[in-house]
Amino acid sequence: MGETKYTEDHEYIRIEGDVVVVGISDYAQSQLGDVVFVELPKAGKKLAKGEEAAVVESVKAASEVYAPVSGEVLEVNAALEAQPGTINEDPEGTGWFIKLKLSDASELSGLMSEADYKTYLASIH
């Protein structure tokens, strides 16, 4: 398993070579509540860093998920459309959203390490 990095918007990326797996953190899913719907982009779509990558709807609210880095969507987790609750059960495992072909590795340096993200979470509670 590759290194995981986080954004201040509670997205994570797991780095697996030049492919990154994108989803939302455990903290994000806990804030959303029960996820009832997810809208994912199509494979082949090119996303710029900060662009909307997906939409998650929960019993509490709808929330956009932004691309933490730029890249091309290689794969989407189609299982989430039938089982959106997977995001609540295992957000950083089987609840991943998309896999991106990383287009600019330098963008990774702007993301937080797991330790930095835990510190960040502590600062916002």
Question: Average pLDDT for consecutive 10-residue bins of the chain (125 residues)?
Answer: 90 94 97 96 97 95 95 97 96 97 94 97 91
Cα 58–chain centre separation:
16
pLDDT given at position 90? 97
In the chain, the domains with their CATH numbers are: 4-108 (2.40.50.100)
What DSSP line would sit under 99-120, residue for residue?
Answer: EEEES-GGGGGGSBPHHHHHHH
pLDDT given at position 42? 96
The per-residue pLDDT for range 98-122, each reduced to its tens digit, is 999 999 999 999 999 999 999 999 9
pTM: 0.94
pLDDT given at position 82? 94
